[in-house]
């Protein structure tokens, strides 16, 4: 999938509407169109990267930044784990079709607002 046709590149460029949660020079975060929990936000790099399966050494800082942004958004959404051990959220990269990846532009799922089981399906 080239950047020209990529749905998340189109969202980042504003060509496809999205419910924005956060944006800076490196990343764009928005609500998932088909949420699997009360909170389901996608954090995507503005740079088109196919997925974790094609990460390069030059992308290491960018991926670290995605996790930090996820932490900040989770706190803003009231999802941070509490001292009584309640609360919390899940951060997920689906890598490849067997793992559930359907959009081939790197994205970190931030999922929360309900109890989640383990192992995942």
Which residues have a catalytic role annotated?
107
105's contact among ligand 5GP, Zn ion, none, with CB below 5 to 8 A by partner kind, is Zn ion
What mask of x and - would describe binding to Zn ion in positions 46 to 75, judged by CB under 5 A? --x---------------------------
Which of 81, 55, 78 has its CA nearest to residue 66? 55
Q: Quick check: 28 binds ligand 5GP (CB under 6 A)?
A: no
50's contact among ligand 5GP, Zn ion, none, with CB below 5 to 8 A by partner kind, is none
Write the CB contacts of 92 (distance below 8 Å, at least 6 apart in sequence).
108, 109, 111, 120
**Cα 3 to Cα 8: distance, rounded to the nearest angstrom:** 9
Q: Quick check: 101 binds ligand 5GP (CB under 6 A)?
A: yes
* Only segment of 16-24, 65-73, 76-84, 101-109 that touches Zn ion (CB under 5 A): 101-109
CB of 4 to Zn ion, least distance (A): 9
User: Would you say 24 and 46 are in contact if contact means Cβ atoms under 8 Å apart?
Assistant: no
What radius of gyration, in Å, describes the C-alpha atoms of the chain?
14
């Amino acid at each position: 999938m080239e950047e020209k046709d990529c749905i998340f590149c189109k969202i980042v460029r504003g060509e496809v509407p999205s419910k924005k949660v956060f944006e800076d020079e490196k990343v764009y975060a928005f609500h998932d169109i088909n949420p699997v929990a009360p909170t389901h936000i996608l954090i995507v790099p503005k740079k088109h990267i196919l997925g974790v399966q094609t990460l390069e050494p030059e992308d290491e800082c960018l991926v670290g930044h995605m996790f930090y942004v996820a932490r900040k958004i989770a706190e803003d959404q009231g999802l941070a784990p509490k001292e009584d051990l309640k609360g919390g959220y899940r951060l997920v990269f689906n890598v490849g079709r067997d793992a559930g990846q359907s959009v081939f532009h790197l994205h970190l799922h931030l999922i929360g607002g309900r109890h989640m089981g383990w192992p995942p399906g």
